[in-house]
A and B are shown apart, each in its own frame.
Chain A
């Protein structure tokens, strides 16, 4: 336990501030302080990627970042990906290609894919698969996820 410190993060375009314990994880800041529960927790060793968000445009596992470390950064969560009613092409891809079943890994998977396509807008299947190495899915066997991302790349 220690004194709370102020932290200010731009989340989905909006400046959010709170006083938090220095040990508070970014994922808990997003979920508990801001109520953005689309970002999930699936492990405690940074393996599963369910908590993936974008920090300054690059994918990061928000369970492995303290909220105070994100101070001054721009964080994008799954809630900030769609433009109003219009789904992001990756979200569209996941829906069209049945890229999700239980939907628990999905927000992290979509955010990882967003980062992947930003770095490599036209990935091969092998590149998509290796680009998802930080994200675990137990339901889909990944094939429909790969199809979803390939579709989004084509649309993009």
Chain B
């Protein structure tokens, strides 16, 4: 990579707690979110959704709805057959057809059956209520382990026993991506490890189904202009460019005839990508010749925005009595719901790759079975397969420590990948870039006051209190790429234009929605050019502005998008260097960028603006140079980065009520180079909260008929401010060797690490009652029943 891609020496902005440049508008209520987009003549779309989990549509009576005031169109799935394409999937695996509005069979509660377009939102909703749907019930498939025997019904033709995918990975499998053929697996090494094991830990564990729950729901505004023809579509999407590609194709347009705008977005967390409703809005805008708006309400969001996790793991660990883990075996059953969305089947396959955790486990094997059930499909959500892996590994390490009577910190220490082993290829197939795990563990123990915590816990227990301590050591897989690793391209795009006045307009394909790119990316460029961040504007979230992009997903924005921007910047910088050398009659090697000036150290200097201005009106072009200062770059990472951290939770369980009080949460994270500590802290905090939620209160539950029982924030409890303690956090910095920033990513860290730490703490608190394992969510009723059972 180009040497000058590295931020200028003496750069002063990377590492600063710069206040966010996004904030002034947002704190005044001047942000533009999807529901704030309004166009002249805009009509409103609402959906009639199935209230049955599995069945055949017998009749859809729309006559009353058609007669309602303000109604412009009523359509059923059958009416739209051939008009709408199926909902897109980009995994390499086989998948069933997924109509945006179902014409014949319903497969989950909330599936669109019909729709209304009306002049205002109230009218559209009124008319939806007037549509009558008759459905002949089929048996609902709700239990994944029963479903994979093909019982009590099959969801899709061509998927025997409801199995979407079965894949075996790891030791004894020659293909890096795993094999679907059990006969092709060599079991000798795995069998030998378990036969010679001194200790074997075996535990069934469940990662419950959860809801990403961005506070802003989904929405879309589609405007089709027939005469051009051209589609402009505003959508809550984390991936505007992929969105444009699929939406253009849906209307028979080329990508050059469509523009996707992701306005300010009220959280995404992996769940906001491409949905059937977007296709419907675009197609109806074309059909009706008017802009169409659809805004999801919260009840719809619980039913129809992709769910996550829902994986049952049977985990076995082989170890020596000194705590050394010699093998890990996992059988994973993932309940992926009724259909596949963009990456549904891909997400559970990511779990295998992190089953090594932070440990040098020589033998790792997993078998993954993905199963269709009559529930909302799952897809990516903060962590995407990784929280599942780390939960399984870290619960297992805790069980091993308990079995051996070892300090949980020491069991982990015993198995860590050592600094000199990096880059380290795990038995699960990933190559970890860098790490100093033991240093971070020690930093965490010190920050927590581990010995004092243990002593206080012993005293509390002696006094009859149920106090527990739990630890987790997490690994996060970030910056997913190169393109061989990510089904839709593993690169990111950036552009840098130094304007004539010396200000910079930059674009990135990483479309932020709360991550603060406008601030942190400006810090990176400011250091590269030796200028102030205030003179840089970063644009994103609009395919007409950011020419190409993958998106803000998988904790990859700064690492991949930030580096792409640096690469574009380095091309501009090289041109500025040539112009400056010419003007100063200096050699290019002598030119430096610092303090808003371009010139020779101790010699002649020009202002940044002077060089910029000259580049657009050069009196004499340097040989082989075009005028102007505008460049772009794609950057594809050579490999993935692996940030890590250690969390310690302290809980107290109320014997009478089963309530869990999270008293302390201590952690140290290492995400490589930190560009803006304020933003990183925010990411870690939010991530931790999203890991604590599923540990204690968050769980989506369907009943035996496939009805969602937790369809509102009354029943699905995301953490409130009073549920959380003040997080006590520190950092270590181990730069990644795989990108010029040394950054690793941090978006999902907290979510991956927090759940096992808290669950381990609760199990520890209950251990004196004979509890060995309990699956989250550990809400008071479940814990109360355990206490009652334990005491009987």
**Interfacial residues, chain A to chain B (CB-CB below 8 A):** 1, 21, 23-24, 31, 36-45, 47-48, 50, 77-79, 81-82, 87, 91, 94-96, 98, 100-107, 110, 125-126, 128-130, 132-133, 135-146
Contact = CB atoms under 8 A, between A and B. Distances in A.
Interface string B709-720: 000111000111
B27, B217, B266 interface centre (most CB from chain A within 10 Å): B27
A132 B297 contact: no
Contact of B266 (A42, A45, A135, A140): A42
Contact of B724 (A82, A136, A141): A141
28 contacts: A37-B35, A38-B29, A38-B31, A39-B29, A40-B215, A40-B266, A42-B215, A42-B217, A42-B298, A43-B298, A44-B298, A45-B713, A48-B713, A87-B28, A91-B27, A91-B28, A98-B20, A98-B678, A102-B265, A104-B215, A129-B721, A138-B689, A139-B682, A141-B687, A141-B727, A142-B685, A142-B720, A142-B721
Contacts of A105: 215, 266
A94 B724 CA distance: 19
B29 to A, nearest CB: 2
Given A1-B126, A44-B712, A38 B727 contact: no
Contact of B27 (A23, A50, A102, A106): A106
B299 interface: yes
Interface string B103-123: 000000000000000000010
A126 to B, nearest CB: 8
Interface stretch (B412-420, B439-447, B510-518, B553-561): B510-518
B685 A82 contact: no
Given A40-B266, A42-B216, A102-B216, A144 B685 contact: yes
Given A44-B298, A140-B685, A103 B31 contact: yes
Nearest to A1: B69
A98 B19 contact: yes
B27 A143 contact: no
Contact of B686 (A47, A50, A138): A138
Interface of B: 19-20, 22-24, 26-33, 35-36, 69, 122, 126, 213-217, 264-267, 269, 297-299, 513-516, 678-679, 681-682, 685-690, 712-714, 718-722, 724, 726-727, 750
Contact of A138 (B28, B265, B690): B690
A142 B23 CA distance: 16
Nearest to A142: B721
Contact of A95 (B20, B35, B267): B20
A78 B31 CA distance: 11
Contacts of A106: 26-27
Contacts of B720: 129, 132-133, 136, 142
Contact of A129 (B686, B718, B722): B722
B713 A43 contact: yes
Contacts of A135: 721
Closest CB pairs A-B (n = 7): A38-B29, A104-B266, A103-B26, A102-B514, A141-B685, A78-B29, A47-B713
Given A98-B679, A102-B265, A129-B722, A137 B215 contact: yes
Contact of A139 (B267, B298, B724): B267
A111 B494 CA distance: 38
A42 B503 CA distance: 38
Nearest to B684: A141
A23, A31, A129 interface centre (most CB from chain B within 10 Å): A129
A81 to B, nearest CB: 8
Nearest to A149: B721
A139 B23 CA distance: 14
Nearest to B726: A143
A36 B27 contact: no
Given A42-B216, A141-B685, A142-B724, A101 B516 contact: yes
B214 A130 contact: no
Contacts of A128: 721
A151 B682 CA distance: 17
A138 B727 CA distance: 16
Contacts of A143: 685, 724, 726-727
Contact of B36 (A23, A37, A77): A37
A102 B678 CA distance: 15
Contacts of B267: 101-102, 104, 138-139
Given A45-B298, A143-B726, A138 B269 contact: yes
B297 A44 contact: yes
A141 B686 contact: yes
A136 B722 contact: no
Contact of A100 (B23, B681, B685): B23
B215 A87 contact: no
A27 B122 CA distance: 13
A81 B22 CA distance: 19
Contacts of A42: 215-217, 266, 298
A79 B29 contact: yes
B215 A136 contact: yes
A126 B724 CA distance: 10
Nearest to A127: B722
A41 B35 contact: yes
Contact of A40 (B33, B678, B687, B727): B33
B29 A101 contact: no
B266 A103 contact: yes
A95 B685 contact: no
Contacts of A82: 28
B713 to A, nearest CB: 4
A95 B27 contact: yes
Contacts of A91: 27-28
Given A44-B298, A128-B721, A100 B266 contact: no
A57 B35 CA distance: 27
A135 B513 CA distance: 20
B171 to A, nearest CB: 38
Contact of A141 (B23, B26, B689): B689
A7 B686 CA distance: 41
A1 B118 CA distance: 14
A137 B69 CA distance: 37
Contact of A101 (B515, B713, B721, B726): B515
Contact of B29 (A37, A48, A95): A37
